[in-house]
């Protein structure tokens, strides 16, 4: 998917804002797509460019979809593992002392 590749290029050039705009601009079309490869490419780009902001959307976007691209799956899994703490909602701190 050209949009995801361009977003990664913008990010490498230091234009993260433009990369995020590119990804968000393509999101409505992607949400109506049954193309697993396109969804995983978008998710990899989103996790590369802005894991905290776009990561949860990326994870939801690939749920239930598959692709036969092993390198794409590997890269997605590596990024998901790397940014796991950014993708998991923080638990509220306990109030009071432990007993």
In a domain, 95, yes or no: no
In a domain, 94, yes or no: no
Q: How many CB atoms lie within 10 A of CB 65?
A: 15
- pLDDT for 85 equals 77
In a domain, 92, yes or no: no
In a domain, 97, yes or no: no
Q: Give ∠ CA 71-43-36 in degrees, rounded to 5.
A: 70
In a domain, 53, yes or no: yes
* CB 10, CB 25: distance < 8 Å: no
Mean pLDDT, the chain cut into blocks of 10 residues (99 residues total): 88 95 94 94 96 94 95 96 76 56
The model carries a pTM of: 0.83
- pLDDT for 77 equals 96
Task: Provide the residue range defining the domain that includes 41.
Answer: 2-87
**Domains of the chain: total:** 1
């Amino acid at each position: 998917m050209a949009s995801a590749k361009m977003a990664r290029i913008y990010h490498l050039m230091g234009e993260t804002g433009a990369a995020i705009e590119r990804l968000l601009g393509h999101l409505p079309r992607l949400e109506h797509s049954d193309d697993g490869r396109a969804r995983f490419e978008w998710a990899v780009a989103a996790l590369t460019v802005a894991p905290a902001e776009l990561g949860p959307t990326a994870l939801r976007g690939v749920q239930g979809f598959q692709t036969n691209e092993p390198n794409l799956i590997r890269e997605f899994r590596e990024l998901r593992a790397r940014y796991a703490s950014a993708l998991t909602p923080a638990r509220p701190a306990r109030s009071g002392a432990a007993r």
